[in-house]
Structure 1
Amino acid sequence: MQFWIWVFNLFLIFSFLSEFSESVAQAPMCSEEDRASLLSFKASIVVDTTETLSSWIGKDCCDGGWEGVQCNPSTGRVIVLQIQRPERDSGSYMKGTLSPSLGNLHFLEVMVISGMKKITGAIPSSFSYLTHLTQLVLEGNSLGGYIPQSLGRLSLLQTLSLNGNHLKGQVPQTLGSLRNLVQINLARNLLSGTIPLGFKTLQNLQNLDLSYNLLCGSVPDFVGEFKNLTYIDLSYNLLTGTIPISLFSLVNLQDLSLSNNKLTGNIPDQMGSLKYLASLKLSGNHLTGHVPMSISKLQNLWYLNVSRNGLSGPLPSIPSKGIPSLLSIDLSYNNLSLGSVPDWIRSKQLREVNLAGCKLKGNLPNFTNPEYLSSIDLSHNYLIDGISNFFKNMSSLQTVKLSNNQLKFDISQIKLPTGLSSLDLHANRIAGRLSAIINNNTSSSLEVIDVSNNFISGHIPELVEGSSLKVLNLGNNKISGTIPFSISNLIDLERLDISRNHILGTIPPSLSQLLKLQWLDVSINELTGQIPGSLSQITNLRHASFRANKLCGAIPQCRPFNMFPAVAYAHNSCLCGKPLQPCK
């Protein structure tokens, strides 16, 4: 009996394997029409440094070997075409055009061709035949022309992303026919005209991004009817009018950006009804009135930027438990006269505080939780003192701007946080020797030092290897001595300004080793000798000024030095050569 059971089981196994092998044998190859469409696209790409298309060989585009291509295993029709530049590979690209033959992939559900940088030409109108399409993503290319009106026929489309191209003209009204659309991103193009009234029917929309275009007109009231919206970005356009009250009925809204437009009027009190709002950006408009007290109700708000408007005081007295999630605040450059930093700002665990141009007076503020701060901007105020304890316990600080105040202290009084990357103290009344901030103990993390327009003295100290400095601005001080040969150790330097000092000696040839330098200003000093010919190695230089020194001899006769204007070499002892008089 056992023997027959064993035979029966063996029979079942062989039957299963037979059926499986038969089904595998019957799995269809890719449609010849689809394969031809893909190969036509491949032919339209003349350069492919991603090497994606090099895998498109063989007769079966559905065998898994064609990178970025997926098929329906039952029909052999292409349903996904996904070509994306890897995030870590910023240098790769494709050069060519989008072949109209892609419109013959009639069963395509997802088309993603993004980040290829150099794919040019128009979006083919044949894409309107892709009636199964749910995602069309063509972002980060160089596509031009107009958005085809025929895209409005893609009734199943849920995602449309064309951002980061060179598209122009008006946004087609026909896109309002895409009633299943959940996300539309047309940002970073050259689109003009108004936001189409046809968009009113996009009731399923969750994500709306039309930023960085040339759109005009008002923010439409009907946007407040999109009850599922979580993200709105209309920034960097030419929009006018007031902020519609209807926006504040969008109870699911998490991110609202209307910055850098021409909006007027007040910030509506109804702002407090957006209980899920996490980020609010209204900077760079013409808004007036007060910051509404209702913002204290925004329990999830962590980023608030209303800078560069015409808002006036007083600021609302936010209770201690108001805006509990706030991490970043920017009130800079309004018509605020704060006098001092409000307690509700000083007492929060903020990461970023930007209060430039807020008419702060007296001493620098003391923050209750300084260890959380990573960025502070208190520039363009009337602050006079308090530097000795200001940086105390700021262990996370990376960027500080205290420029254009009336701070008067010896620079040796400050002890900079070890992780600081940018220090801007220009246009104050700071004295002391430069070596107090540039020395062997200077943090290797410092990338920007700007102490110009002060009263700093002493020599430029020897500069050690391992520096990360990209910007060094020492202009308009009382610095003397020579330019050290060790300047060559600043191999990442992009901007060097030592103008309007009392620097002597010659320009060291070692300066030519700063190959990343784009800006060089040594004007109005007491430099002698020649301009070293070796500086011609600095091919990235965009600006240079040697004027008002005691330099003599031939100007390097190569680009860019012979292309700078004559004023860059004026008022020296005896410089000659183009753009000045020929050398004798």
Structure 2
Amino acid sequence: MGLDEFKRLEKLEFLDLSGNQLSGSLSFKELKLESLKVLNLEYTNFNKLSDVEALTSLKALSLYDIGINDSSVLQGICSLKNLHELDLSRNNFYGPVPMCFRNLTSLRLLDLSNNILSGNIPAALITPLVHLEYLSLSGNLFGDLEFLDLSKNQLIGPLPACSELTSLKFIHLHHNMISGPISNMLSGSFNLMTLDLGYNKLSGGIPRYIGKLKELRVLLLGGNELLGHIPLHLCQLQNVTIMDLSQNKFSGPLPTCFNKISFGSGQFSNDAFFTYDPSFGESESFPGYPGSHFLAMEIRWSEYYKIFSDQENVIFTTKSRSERYAGNLLNFMSGLDLSCNQLIGAIPPEFGDLRHIRALNLSHNYLQGSIPSRLSMLNLVESLDLSYNNFSGEIPSELASLNFLSIFNVSYNNLSGRVPDTGEFATFDDSNYRGNPGLCGPLLKRSCNPFAPHPENVGDQDIEVDGAIDVATFYWSFFASYMVIVISFVVILCVSPYYRRAWSFYIDYWILSRFYEYCGSRSSEKKQTWKVFNWNLRRR
């Protein structure tokens, strides 16, 4: 039976040609197998398959070990929207995985193992495959893989225990359901620059090998179930600019060695952009001007300016909102987020050495002691959140020198004393200081002098006090309401004879009941009262 005989089988749904010596080319458009649902070509020798997109009803396709290297087949497969199972393993497909595979939204099984595939695996390729249950990419050339993004999927189970991804630079696995400890999966990835495992179900501590990833710039482990003390080997990550350990179960004191981490100090200093070069001689424009030397302004870019890939982007919470930093913007951002843990103790004075950090969040912990005045050395900080802790004492007035500070929150602590009201602090409102009854100052409309008169008692100042009541207005409104009720009652009695008789009866009844009570014969006289009541009604 030749392949041409299949042209008569337009209703054919299952076709298994595996284990034959069929070779040459095969055009599915000519076979007219529009109803075909399962096609198995395992162990055949076809060197060309064309018009695969003609199999519009296909749900399962296996090209296992047919030795084909025609990558155009992959483009045709991208049109098979009903495909549930796809096995392309043990072939010679090369190059990157086609991005059009994201169109196969019904896929449950995808096996691309043992080919010559290479390149990166972005999240945009895997994320649309919401029904995918099995994915195999082993045995390819992903040893040169630099960018891996499988974030926002439903990946479950532990991290694989492998250390062969030596060229990997960026890995994003955030917002999955990965559980268990952080394995040695990346122990050999010494070129790693971004490690994003946030918002999973990882537990245990941070392994020691993380401290040996000297090229690491971004470490995002927030939103997991990590516990124990924050390990000191994180201080070996001297090139890190963004670190997020928030929403975990870390306990113990803050490490005093965090000042060894750059948090941006290796990127751009205040004079990193413009430097003066006095090597230029006398000005040609003004030759007659004595000693006229132009100081040539030279743009000197940091060595890290081109360090992040254009497709690299991370999400980091700063200024009370989550921001996305992509590409070269990452070179201008630095931050440390340790919020929502169980940290105790005081803020180490060494935190004041993080002079290039732009966001520092220590909120929702059990930190105590005073706020170090050395935090005034955080010259570039834009967001400083110390809320929901147990800090006491005064807010250091030196913090008013932080010229870039736009978010400052110390609410719900035990702070006291005067609130700074100069510099950027003049722009903050009382919401930044809630839950600190000991704080005072003009910004809080609370005098720091316990003997000072209350603002509403000061006659020569027009001060509006929330909740104040005008006593005269209160009395007049009460009297007017009372008169309205009385007049309405009188009008009802005048207009309605029924209510007038009922009112007269209740008055008589009340007078008689009080009289009999006074005479001491309450039980017997009540019956007599009802007789009088009935007699009065009959008389009326």
Give the TM-score of the pair, scaled to structure 1: 0.46
Larger radius of gyration: 2
Higher helix share: 2
Give the TM-score of the pair, scaled to structure 2: 0.49
Query: Greater relative contact order: 1 or 2 (C-alpha under 8 angstroms, separation 6 or more)?
Result: 2
